[in-house]
Amino acid sequence: MLATLLAFAADNTQGTVDVLAAAPSPSGAPKPVNVPNPAPVAPEGLQAFGDMFLGWMKWVLMIGGVAGLFASGIMMTVGRRNRSSLAADGAAGIPWVLGGLTLGAMGALVVGAVLR
């Protein structure tokens, strides 16, 4: 589904979207209707606020990622002797932290590709 949406977004370079009309043409086939598809535009005066907010979210993501990796490392180190479940929980947390960082880093790219 996502690949179809991304392919549609890549193919849609005319700035309009072809949508099939509800009423069929005399030949029986539905006729396409061009629907405008403008590029996203920030409301006046909000571009700086939006950029600042996204910067804050990236900063929080970075701090959370570092803290998550530190916490996983500490759990693995402390749980090394006689507390193997704590070490296992720390090791199991690493993929979740890396997955969250990856999703956060790709968020703007995915949204930009879909809305393009």
Phi, psi of 92 (to 5 degrees): -70, -20
What is the C-alpha separation between 105 and 50, in angstroms, rounded? 17
Whether the Cβ atoms of residue 38 and residue 55 lie closer than 8 Å to each other: no
pLDDT in single tens digits along all 116 residues of the chain: 556 555 555 555 445 555 555 555 667 677 777 888 788 888 999 999 999 999 999 999 999 999 999 999 999 999 877 788 999 999 999 999 999 999 999 988 888 888 77
